[in-house]
Amino acid sequence: MAFNGIICYNYIHASCWVIIAEAMLGFGNKALEYFRMINPIEHTRTKETANKYKTEPFSIAADIYGAGNLAGRGGWTWYTGSSSWYYKAGIEYILGLKIEKGILKIEPCIPNNWKEYSIKYKWKESIYNIKVQNPEGKNTEVTKVLLNENEVPNAIKLDGSRNVYNIMVIM
């Protein structure tokens, strides 16, 4: 993470909590910037950065060293706590896919330059094709939700009856 020009890496759990906090505050641009900063692929794009990072490009590290000759090196890969918080930050807080007690809500906090994105979600035997459109370049705030072309509240009861549901979310 970068704060006031100082780059601070270390405990990835805390970095994920910062991403979640930025999203909760409505700062989608910062949330995605920080999300990308800790993405392992960003640390392994070139041979030089991969040699510095020294861990798998497909596994979240628990920490990234920030001092001395180890600066930039990942540690404790395959650490489930970090990966689950990273997943939660991306899916629930940036993309906004939230499911609680069988109710699906879409509450995104995205960069304002994202015009649209889509999610395919399977619940039991049903498929939910979700498309989020952002014509006004917002970070947050859903204006309208359509379920199979009918306007509904942003709280859709999940149904596992082998149906396909098309959800359009307009920000």
HSE (side-chain half, CA atoms, 13 Å) at 92: 15
CA distances from 33 to 36, 38, 87, 95, 96 (A): 5, 9, 15, 14, 16
Amino acid at position 45, single letter: R
In our burial notation (b when 16+ CB lie closer than 10 A, e otherwise), range 61-76 reads bbbbbeeeeeebbbee
**pTM of the predicted structure, to 2 decimals:** 0.87
* Predicted local confidence at residue 25, as pLDDT: 98
Domains and CATH numbers, the chain: 2-90 (no CATH), 104-170 (2.60.420.10)
* Predicted local confidence at residue 10, as pLDDT: 58
Residue with tokens 């906004």: 96
pLDDT in tens, 83-122: 889 999 999 999 999 999 999 999 999 999 999 999 999 9
* Predicted local confidence at residue 64, as pLDDT: 81
Strands 6-7 and 2-3 turn out to be antiparallel
* Predicted local confidence at residue 128, as pLDDT: 98
| Tokens describing residue 98 | 């939230």
Per-block average pLDDT, block size 10, for the chain (171 residues)? Answer: 46 86 98 92 89 87 80 80 90 98 98 98 97 98 98 96 96 98
